[in-house]
Amino acid sequence: MVPAAFAEVLRYWAPVHIWGRKATRDVEIDGVTIPSGAQVGILFGAGNRDPRHYANPDTFDVRRNPVDHLSFGYGPHGCAGQGLAKLEAHAIIEALARRVKTLALSDEVREPSNITRSFEVLQVEKVVAA
């Protein structure tokens, strides 16, 4: 379930809030025309919680396996490092699952940012070995 759980974490809590693009041509989306040259903000978290695409989008469910989440971008704008990020995250999660029964975190201290969701501090308070 590690790949599914990691994909659901990224869908549920996108690490990037917004990314900018420029419209290269007039385009209509849901009855609204975005003119060529307009600056557009891509809201990854909003897309990942679109109820037209995901049932119960505000529910965290590791069985969902949302392989089509937008957190790494998409197509030619996809993150070049996403393969490595997945490999590293899966290895860490699998190691923790084998060795740790319980993990308790302290209250996080967020790093203020308009673009990313980052932590300045995230401390582990308690670990119970498996």
Between CA 108 and CA 119 the distance in angstroms is 7
How many independent structural domains does the chain possess?
1
Structure confidence at residue 47 (pLDDT) = 93
Q: What is the mean pLDDT of the chain?
A: 92
- Using CB atoms within 10 A of its CB, is residue 40 exposed (0-12), middle (13-18) or buried (19+)? middle
Residue 36 · residue 24 · CB < 8 Å: yes
Domain that holds residue 98: 2-129
In CATH, what number is assigned to the domain containing residue 102? Answer: 1.10.630.10
Q: Which pTM was predicted?
A: 0.81
pLDDT in tens, 104-127: 888 889 998 888 888 899 888 878
